[in-house]
Structure 1
């Protein structure tokens, strides 16, 4: 983790401009073609959900602008981000949030996710984990598709944790397509960065 010299930071003017907003967040919902990923995970007995988390983190960690975080009047740069994702809590309809280190191969990551989900009985991570800002919040609505989405959150302009949510995939013209929603802090990231993320994830999925 490194502290950034704001006076030398290329984004200082944009950061200052969007810092005047009480709600500097933007959310875009687009679509991903997950045909090849679905085929790959089904053939290898992997979790489609964990695999799409892996794809998202793989691409986001390769885009340095996503690694900046706001801490009061300071900007820090993390070495990488880890996923904090939602799963059903056992046989109930209640949710559980699980944090898992990103890294390794797809198979290793899926195994690590399954293990943590199995051993974590509490619905939420420990308080120290909840205070981390080197996370990406990820959720899924596998029961339905959608065309827009909003996220629960405090209206804290310093909140720089991306929120990524996808919905139920549907067959369209012989392909499997799902809605993919991303919420970002405009103080740190613009539409161009979002395009780099979404296009990068699609390219990663197409390579399976």
Structure 2
């Protein structure tokens, strides 16, 4: 898919981009609780809560242009489509990375994600991104924990690929919720964009 240069002369965040661009510790993470009651109500009918969350995360990322932006030196580009790269437990007892292109139609996305995740689970390769791609978002589910905060390992301050983590789904007596964390580079994303992301993800989760 195509990427497009961002015009720094007209981009409202250009000053913030330049201010945070070369910070030693430019990443920050925000955790919020999301309602997944509608998703869990459809689990008995065959809906995968995991893949439903994947799709909602993809919808949230694509609803916020800044989450699709990446560095090109001192410039910025915006990708039309972001591929979701998630950790997948393997049959060997480790994990590998799957790469699932986002598709707005859930039925198509679900079938594609199920097949690609199964392929990764059956393999033995880690298959990490070697740095050639930045049209990605990194995803990781922590179903063992109902956590309150989390941070990710980062290769350095030049990495601007968003990280999304979500935790165990908790029954709250008639409704269900979970923690979700978005970790971003401050040169590209402010609090307003995080708020828009979480609102879009919540909307997608409630639409099931």
What TM-score do the two structures reach when normalised by structure 1?
0.90
Which residue is 1:150 aligned to?
A: 151
Equivalent-residue separation in structure 1 for 2:136 and 2:124 (angstroms): 19
**1:74 correspondence with 2:75:** yes
Structure 1: unaligned runs, 5 residues or longer:
none
Which residue is 1:50 aligned to?
A: 51
Q: How does 1:5-20 map to 2 (within 5 A)?
A: 5-20=7-22
**1:22 correspondence with 2:27:** no
Q: How does 1:189-204 map to 2 (within 5 A)?
A: 189-204=189-204
Structure 2: unaligned runs, 5 residues or longer:
none
1:55 deviation in Å?
0.7
Query: Secondary structure of 1:138's partner?
Result: strand
Asked if the contact 2:59–2:104 (Cα under 8 Å) also holds between the matched residues in 1, the reply is: no
Moved over 6 A (4+): none
Equivalent-residue separation in structure 2 for 1:126 and 1:96 (angstroms): 8
Equivalent-residue separation in structure 2 for 1:88 and 1:37 (angstroms): 23
The one-character-per-residue Cα deviations of 1:67-95 (angstroms, maximum 9, x if unpaired) are: 211122221111121100111102x4311
Distance 1:138 1:127, change over 3 A: closer
The one-character-per-residue Cα deviations of 1:98-147 (angstroms, maximum 9, x if unpaired) are: 0011115212212111211233424333756x531111100001111100
**1:119 correspondence with 2:119:** yes
Which residue is 1:171 aligned to?
A: 171
Asked if the contact 1:82–1:101 (Cα under 8 Å) also holds between the matched residues in 2, the reply is: yes
Over the residues paired in the alignment, what is the CA RMSD in angstroms? 1.7
Q: Find the partner of 1:39 among 20, 35, 41.
A: 41
What TM-score do the two structures reach when normalised by structure 2?
0.90
Asked if the contact 1:137–1:161 (Cα under 8 Å) also holds between the matched residues in 2, the reply is: yes
**How many residues matched?**
204
Query: Secondary structure of 1:205's partner?
Result: helix
Equivalent-residue separation in structure 2 for 1:35 and 1:86 (angstroms): 24
